[in-house]
């Protein structure tokens, strides 16, 4: 297990390996080859990319800027990072729509964290936001590598450009926020919590950018990413885990909504992209019960837990749930908020301690 100040694997892709495993058996050689290359790339980076854990990193002296500092690079379909610098913060819009979407997504993420939670960038110290687009050849993923965002273009048939869904960008950058705060281990339940926190704030970033209430939101992660012939809406659904896709090529969405369906597996770091459906659904239930803008009360409770310093790196679902109850009580007292939180965890089968 990782301890504070140790080393933490930080390669966090949006598409889980069980989907790519299936696509690697596709009858279309081009699709199968793209999936296989993506799998091999991700496996290599998952085992080799490590950085010093950044939990509790001190902010530099001075006041960080209230504006983002974004730089976009183009890998030109290589796997060399960061690639060629093609867009800076003050530049006019690019002729490349992918560059513009990456720039906008980084900005929307910065805006939510600053305007809602008074957090100055990923590290709360004004960290410049860097992204590389057009990574690899038909690379079917996007990831945070501990230092920057990386986007593939997809294979063009089953997966489209990974800059299309703004919540994918927010999801991946939130892995950076987790890295600088709770630094949740990327394995088992703590890894599923790591993934879930990224889904939660990725969804909130989209809702905030679109001005949507909890009732208006679709609660989908990666809507618009799947190709037009895929039978599915997105990569995941927080409202109804297990319903995001059911496709001959991708298979059926395996996410459980409650602990009754908890999946025990050694794949995908102990099922981090699968079992994240349980805390995802708990957050959806809290946000729906409270109504209004989900980034306000529900999001504030989750943010308080993530950044409060009490969440252990190896936290289990029950640990996280217990801290959300505590955070709701401390911030809002004995009102609707704490009742919504307690009921949500009860509904998904997670006991608070």
Q: Which residues are catalytic?
A: 172, 273
CB-based contact 35:26 (threshold 8 Å): yes
Query: Which residue, 124, 121, 171, 166, is CA-closest to 143?
Result: 171
CB-based contact 185:1 (threshold 8 Å): yes
Give the Cα separation of 270 and 266 in Å (integer): 5
- CA 328, 180, 122, 206 torsion: positive or negative? negative
- DSSP H helical segments within the chain, as ranges? 17-23, 29-48, 97-117, 166-180, 188-210, 268-275, 277-290, 297-307, 317-332, 336-347
Give the Cα separation of 157 and 164 in Å (integer): 14
Give the Cα separation of 351 and 259 in Å (integer): 10
The secondary element (H helix, E strand) that includes residue 87 is strand 84-87
């Amino acid at each position: 297990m990782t301890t504070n100040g140790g080393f933490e694997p930080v390669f966090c892709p949006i598409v889980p390996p069980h989907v790519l495993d299936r696509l690697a058996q596709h009858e279309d050689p081009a699709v199968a080859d793209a999936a296989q290359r993506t799998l091999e790339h991700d496996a290599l980076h998952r085992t080799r990319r490590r950085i010093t854990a950044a939990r509790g990193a001190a902010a530099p002296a001075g006041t960080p800027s209230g504006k983002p500092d974004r730089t976009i690079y183009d890998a030109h379909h290589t796997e060399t990072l960061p690639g060629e610098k093609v867009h800076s913060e003050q530049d006019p819009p690019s002729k490349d729509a992918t560059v513009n979407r990456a720039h906008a997504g980084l900005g929307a993420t910065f805006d939510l964290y600053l305007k809602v939670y008074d957090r100055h960038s990923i590290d709360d110290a004004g960290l410049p936001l860097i992204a590389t687009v057009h990574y690899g050849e038909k690379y079917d993923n996007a990831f945070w590598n501990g230092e920057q965002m990386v986007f593939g273009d997809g294979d063009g048939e089953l997966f489209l450009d990974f800059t299309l869904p703004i919540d994918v960008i927010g999801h991946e950058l939130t892995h950076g926020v987790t890295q600088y705060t709770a630094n949740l281990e990327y394995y088992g339940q703590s890894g599923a919590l790591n993934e879930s926190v990224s889904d939660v704030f990725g969804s909130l970033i989209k809702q905030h950018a679109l001005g949507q209430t909890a009732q208006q939101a679709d609660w989908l992660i990666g809507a618009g990413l799947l190709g037009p012939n895929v039978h599915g809406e997105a990569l995941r659904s927080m409202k109804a885990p297990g319903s995001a896709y059911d496709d001959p090529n991708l298979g059926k969405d395996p996410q459980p909504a409650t602990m009754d369906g908890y999946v025990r597996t050694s794949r995908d770091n102990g099922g981090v992209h699968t079992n994240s459906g349980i805390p995802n659904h708990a957050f959806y239930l809290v946000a729906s019960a409270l109504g209004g803008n989900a980034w306000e009360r529900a999001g504030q409770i989750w943010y308080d837990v993530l950044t409060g310093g009490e969440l252990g790196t190896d936290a289990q679902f029950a640990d996280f749930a217990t801290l959300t109850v505590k955070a709701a009580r401390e911030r809002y007292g004995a009102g609707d908020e704490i009742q919504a939180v307690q009921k949500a965890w009860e509904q998904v089968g997670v006991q608070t301690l």
